Amino acid sequence: MEQRTVYVGLGSNLGDKVTNCLRALNKLSSPENSIQAVSSFYQTQPVGYSEQDWFVNCVARVISWLSPHSLLKSLKRIEDELGRVRTVRWGPRVIDLDILLCDTEVIKHSSLVVPHPRLHERQFVLVPLVELAPGVVHPILKKTAKELLRDIEGKGGEVEWYAAPPSRELLRCGFDH
């Protein structure tokens, strides 16, 4: 099996938001997925559908031995296990897990688009991504995460630091940060 470095965005705006993200990270950690690092948690203004509570977001760097499509299925299963109910697009959710980048791969499929199609427009993803990997390059736009963030600073909703990255004790996966 081929290993890939994948950046996964996590977000929650229902219930105990940080705990929801921690539970998702613990479920993501498996023999097929090794969490290498997790960003700080950020409180972020909702984008797309503003009549809802603010989110808590973070980004995880994961080494995955799954294909991108298999990883997506795994992320959807985790969302379902944690109680995500899909109602309104961009609406409230217990947990949201998105593949942001997968090495330098470009995937355009009806069920999966990588890099995430709105990655370069969203501060709530770029701020934690820049914390983890400021030099990671968007394979289509050929800009680093730091350059993409600079391009949209002040747009795309407020982002405020909320909490430090989780410790090894909070995550069973024992990631290296």
Q: Which residues are catalytic?
A: 84, 93, 96, 98
Q: Which amino acid is at 164?
A: A
- The CA-to-CA distance between both ends of the chain, in Å, stands at 25
Amino acid letter at 129? L
Angle in degrees, 0-180, between the axes of helices 123-132 and 145-152, rounded to the nearest 10: 150
Q: Are 149 and 136 in contact (CB under 8 A)?
A: no
Q: Is the peptide bond before 115 cis (omega within 30 degrees of 0)?
A: yes
